[in-house]
Amino acid sequence: PGDRVACGGADYANHAEFVAVPKNLVVKVPDNVSDEEAAFTTVGSIALQGIRLAEPKLGETFLVLGLGLLGQITVQLLKANGCQVLATDLDPSLIARAEAFGATGIYPGSDIESICKGLTAGHGVDGVIVCAGTSSNQPIELCGAVTRLKGRVVVVGAVRMDIPREDYFKKEISVVISRSYG
């Protein structure tokens, strides 16, 4: 009683004076973490789960599609993991923010496939983390085009997933759908 905590979980973590949350969905907030920082616990864990599933390795190149809050945190976690990060969104201001975190921005209207191939000696990126939200299948199609042989695609956002067999089959690309914070 009296501890500051952060919690998550649909049907558990509500804005209320009292809530009952399962022990695996709540964590004590350390004294050196502000309330403002602690507010990112759940959304940060969603981005972290996407990173875990992507299994990034030091020096690998990743593309982050969609640079809202989850995408921005994903960029930072990949950079902290020692990865080269390419980042794109439809909103140029979000790309600029990702560049401030060390990403190489790819702006709307750019040839994303050519840029990814050019920065990877023609091989393609090691992985893509999709943080976008759209009913379009374009992000999934793009992933197949830019990902290298035996690369990884992790879908964190809500996108259409009609996976085009040709690119994914030829390159044996692994696709994983992230379940929120795991």
Q: What is the mean pLDDT of residues 79-84?
A: 97
Task: Give the integer Cα–Cα distance in Å for 173 and 168.
Answer: 5
Q: Are the C-beta atoms of 112 and 88 separated by less than 8 Å?
A: yes
Task: Give the integer Cα–Cα distance in Å for 172 and 51.
Answer: 20
Instruction: Supply the pTM of this predicted model.
Output: 0.92
* Amino acid residing at 158: A
pLDDT in tens, 14-66: 888 888 889 889 999 999 999 999 999 999 999 999 999 999 999 999 999 99
Task: Give the integer Cα–Cα distance in Å for 8 and 26.
Answer: 7
pLDDT in tens, 131-159: 999 999 999 999 999 999 999 999 999 99
Q: Which residues of 54-69 are buried (b: 16+ CB within 10 A; e: fewer)?
A: bebeeebbbbbbbbbe
> Can you read off the two tokens belonging to residue 18?
């009292």
CA-only gyration radius of the chain, Å: 18
Which of residues 122 and 18 earns the better pLDDT score? 122
